[in-house]
Structure 1
Protein backbone atom coordinates (compact mmCIF):
# COMPACT_ATOMS: atom_id res chain seq x y z
CA UNK A 1 0.00 0.00 0.00
CA UNK A 2 1.28 3.44 -0.85
CA UNK A 3 2.10 6.02 1.77
CA UNK A 4 -0.59 8.57 2.50
CA UNK A 5 0.15 11.98 0.94
CA UNK A 6 0.25 15.10 3.06
CA UNK A 7 -2.91 17.16 2.98
CA UNK A 8 -2.16 20.29 0.95
CA UNK A 9 -3.53 22.34 -1.94
CA UNK A 10 -1.73 20.26 -4.56
CA UNK A 11 -3.99 17.22 -3.98
CA UNK A 12 -7.04 16.60 -6.12
CA UNK A 13 -10.30 15.65 -4.42
CA UNK A 14 -10.25 12.04 -5.70
CA UNK A 15 -6.84 11.39 -4.12
CA UNK A 16 -7.91 13.24 -0.97
CA UNK A 17 -11.03 11.09 -0.59
CA UNK A 18 -9.12 7.85 -1.08
CA UNK A 19 -7.14 8.33 2.16
CA UNK A 20 -8.11 8.60 5.80
CA UNK A 21 -7.33 11.86 7.59
CA UNK A 22 -7.93 12.69 11.24
CA UNK A 23 -10.34 15.46 12.08
CA UNK A 24 -7.45 17.42 13.62
CA UNK A 25 -5.65 17.29 10.28
CA UNK A 26 -8.76 18.45 8.45
CA UNK A 27 -9.31 21.41 10.81
CA UNK A 28 -5.63 22.38 10.56
CA UNK A 29 -5.91 22.40 6.74
CA UNK A 30 -9.08 24.51 6.97
CA UNK A 31 -7.38 27.04 9.25
CA UNK A 32 -4.34 27.30 6.97
CA UNK A 33 -6.50 27.92 3.90
CA UNK A 34 -9.20 30.16 5.37
CA UNK A 35 -11.98 27.58 5.35
CA UNK A 36 -14.58 27.39 8.11
CA UNK A 37 -13.64 24.80 10.76
CA UNK A 38 -17.13 24.19 12.12
CA UNK A 39 -18.98 20.94 11.57
CA UNK A 40 -18.27 17.26 11.78
CA UNK A 41 -15.68 15.24 9.94
CA UNK A 42 -17.94 14.47 6.98
CA UNK A 43 -18.82 18.12 6.54
CA UNK A 44 -15.15 19.12 6.70
CA UNK A 45 -14.27 16.43 4.15
CA UNK A 46 -16.91 17.74 1.73
CA UNK A 47 -15.75 21.32 2.22
CA UNK A 48 -12.08 20.45 1.62
CA UNK A 49 -12.90 18.31 -1.46
CA UNK A 50 -14.87 21.21 -2.95
CA UNK A 51 -11.98 23.57 -2.18
CA UNK A 52 -9.43 21.24 -3.80
CA UNK A 53 -11.54 20.96 -6.97
CA UNK A 54 -12.73 24.55 -7.38
CA UNK A 55 -10.55 26.69 -5.11
CA UNK A 56 -13.72 28.22 -3.64
CA UNK A 57 -14.52 28.54 0.04
CA UNK A 58 -17.99 27.21 0.85
CA UNK A 59 -19.94 28.38 3.88
CA UNK A 60 -20.98 25.82 6.48
CA UNK A 61 -24.50 24.47 6.16
CA UNK A 62 -26.97 26.11 8.50
CA UNK A 63 -28.48 23.60 10.89
CA UNK A 64 -31.50 24.02 13.06
CA UNK A 65 -31.99 22.02 16.20
CA UNK A 66 -35.23 20.08 16.21
CA UNK A 67 -37.61 21.04 18.97
CA UNK A 68 -35.91 24.31 19.89
CA UNK A 69 -37.76 26.71 17.60
CA UNK A 70 -41.44 27.48 17.80
CA UNK A 71 -41.96 25.67 21.05
CA UNK A 72 -44.42 27.35 23.39
CA UNK A 73 -43.27 28.01 26.95
CA UNK A 74 -44.42 25.53 29.58
CA UNK A 75 -47.69 26.38 31.26
CA UNK A 76 -49.64 24.86 34.11
CA UNK A 77 -52.72 23.00 33.06
CA UNK A 78 -54.55 23.23 36.37
CA UNK A 79 -54.40 25.74 39.18
CA UNK A 80 -52.20 24.44 41.99
CA UNK A 81 -55.08 24.68 44.49
CA UNK A 82 -56.91 21.92 42.61
CA UNK A 83 -53.92 19.64 42.75
CA UNK A 84 -53.00 20.17 46.39
CA UNK A 85 -56.38 20.01 48.09
CA UNK A 86 -59.77 18.42 47.59
CA UNK A 87 -63.08 20.12 48.43
CA UNK A 88 -64.29 19.56 51.98
CA UNK A 89 -66.25 16.40 52.56
CA UNK A 90 -64.97 14.61 49.48
CA UNK A 91 -61.76 13.13 50.84
CA UNK A 92 -61.48 9.43 51.70
CA UNK A 93 -61.67 10.15 55.47
CA UNK A 94 -64.53 12.59 55.50
CA UNK A 95 -67.13 12.37 58.27
CA UNK A 96 -69.60 10.87 55.87
CA UNK A 97 -70.11 7.18 55.56
CA UNK A 98 -67.54 4.85 54.06
CA UNK A 99 -68.15 2.71 50.98
CA UNK A 100 -69.43 -0.09 53.23
CA UNK A 101 -71.88 2.28 54.91
CA UNK A 102 -70.11 2.57 58.29
CA UNK A 103 -69.57 5.97 59.81
CA UNK A 104 -65.87 6.72 59.73
CA UNK A 105 -65.91 8.44 63.11
CA UNK A 106 -65.94 5.10 64.93
CA UNK A 107 -62.49 4.26 63.51
CA UNK A 108 -60.91 7.08 65.48
CA UNK A 109 -62.40 6.02 68.84
CA UNK A 110 -60.16 4.26 71.27
CA UNK A 111 -61.77 1.58 73.02
Structure 2
Protein backbone atom coordinates (compact mmCIF):
# COMPACT_ATOMS: atom_id res chain seq x y z
CA UNK A 1 0.00 0.00 0.00
CA UNK A 2 3.03 2.26 0.45
CA UNK A 3 3.31 2.94 -3.29
CA UNK A 4 -0.33 3.95 -3.58
CA UNK A 5 -0.27 6.21 -0.55
CA UNK A 6 3.15 7.54 -1.53
CA UNK A 7 1.83 8.48 -4.96
CA UNK A 8 -1.02 10.43 -3.38
CA UNK A 9 1.37 12.16 -1.01
CA UNK A 10 3.69 13.14 -3.86
CA UNK A 11 0.87 14.98 -5.61
CA UNK A 12 0.15 17.19 -2.59
CA UNK A 13 3.55 17.46 -0.92
CA UNK A 14 4.92 20.61 -2.53
CA UNK A 15 4.44 23.76 -0.44
CA UNK A 16 4.59 25.75 -3.69
CA UNK A 17 1.27 24.54 -5.08
CA UNK A 18 -0.77 27.70 -5.45
CA UNK A 19 -3.41 26.65 -7.96
CA UNK A 20 -5.91 23.81 -7.65
CA UNK A 21 -4.58 20.47 -8.86
CA UNK A 22 -7.73 18.43 -8.23
CA UNK A 23 -11.35 19.20 -7.44
CA UNK A 24 -12.29 19.98 -3.83
CA UNK A 25 -14.55 16.92 -3.81
CA UNK A 26 -11.66 14.64 -4.75
CA UNK A 27 -9.56 16.15 -1.95
CA UNK A 28 -12.37 15.40 0.50
CA UNK A 29 -12.77 11.83 -0.80
CA UNK A 30 -9.03 11.20 -0.50
CA UNK A 31 -9.13 12.59 3.02
CA UNK A 32 -11.95 10.25 4.00
CA UNK A 33 -10.18 7.25 2.47
CA UNK A 34 -6.85 7.99 4.14
CA UNK A 35 -8.59 8.64 7.47
CA UNK A 36 -10.16 5.18 7.27
CA UNK A 37 -6.82 3.59 6.43
CA UNK A 38 -5.15 5.45 9.29
CA UNK A 39 -7.77 4.59 11.88
CA UNK A 40 -8.59 1.02 10.90
CA UNK A 41 -5.35 -0.46 9.61
CA UNK A 42 -3.48 -2.83 11.90
CA UNK A 43 -0.32 -2.41 9.83
CA UNK A 44 1.95 0.29 11.23
CA UNK A 45 3.41 1.26 7.85
CA UNK A 46 -0.08 1.87 6.45
CA UNK A 47 -0.93 4.09 9.42
CA UNK A 48 2.38 5.92 9.18
CA UNK A 49 2.20 6.65 5.46
CA UNK A 50 -1.51 7.49 5.59
CA UNK A 51 -1.09 10.14 8.30
CA UNK A 52 1.89 11.71 6.56
CA UNK A 53 -0.08 11.89 3.29
CA UNK A 54 -2.98 13.36 5.25
CA UNK A 55 -0.68 16.05 6.62
CA UNK A 56 0.26 17.12 3.09
CA UNK A 57 -3.38 17.02 1.95
CA UNK A 58 -4.39 19.05 4.98
CA UNK A 59 -1.82 21.75 4.20
CA UNK A 60 -2.95 21.81 0.56
CA UNK A 61 -6.59 22.06 1.63
CA UNK A 62 -5.82 25.03 3.85
CA UNK A 63 -4.08 26.83 0.99
CA UNK A 64 -7.06 26.10 -1.26
CA UNK A 65 -9.72 26.92 1.38
CA UNK A 66 -11.12 23.39 1.35
CA UNK A 67 -12.78 22.41 4.63
CA UNK A 68 -11.94 18.86 5.73
CA UNK A 69 -13.71 16.94 8.46
CA UNK A 70 -11.32 16.38 11.37
CA UNK A 71 -13.88 14.77 13.70
CA UNK A 72 -12.70 11.15 13.27
CA UNK A 73 -9.06 12.15 13.66
CA UNK A 74 -9.88 14.12 16.81
CA UNK A 75 -11.72 11.12 18.27
CA UNK A 76 -8.75 8.88 17.45
CA UNK A 77 -6.39 11.33 19.17
CA UNK A 78 -8.46 11.36 22.37
CA UNK A 79 -7.88 7.61 22.69
CA UNK A 80 -4.15 7.52 21.88
CA UNK A 81 -0.98 8.60 23.59
CA UNK A 82 2.68 7.59 23.76
CA UNK A 83 1.69 4.29 25.36
CA UNK A 84 -0.28 3.00 22.37
CA UNK A 85 1.27 4.68 19.30
CA UNK A 86 4.47 6.41 18.27
CA UNK A 87 5.50 9.96 18.98
CA UNK A 88 5.92 10.58 15.23
CA UNK A 89 2.31 9.71 14.53
CA UNK A 90 1.07 11.73 17.51
CA UNK A 91 3.01 14.80 16.38
CA UNK A 92 1.62 14.53 12.87
CA UNK A 93 -1.95 14.13 14.12
CA UNK A 94 -1.49 17.06 16.50
CA UNK A 95 -0.14 19.23 13.66
CA UNK A 96 -3.38 18.59 11.81
CA UNK A 97 -5.98 18.86 14.56
CA UNK A 98 -4.57 21.50 16.88
CA UNK A 99 -5.28 25.08 15.87
CA UNK A 100 -2.39 27.35 14.97
CA UNK A 101 -1.01 29.14 17.95
* Superposition TM-score, scaled by structure 1 size: 0.25
* Bigger proportion of residues as helix: 2
Higher relative contact order (CA closer than 8 Å, sequence separation 6+): 2
Report which of the two structures shows the higher radius of gyration computed on alpha carbons.
1
| TM-score, L = length of structure 2 | 0.27
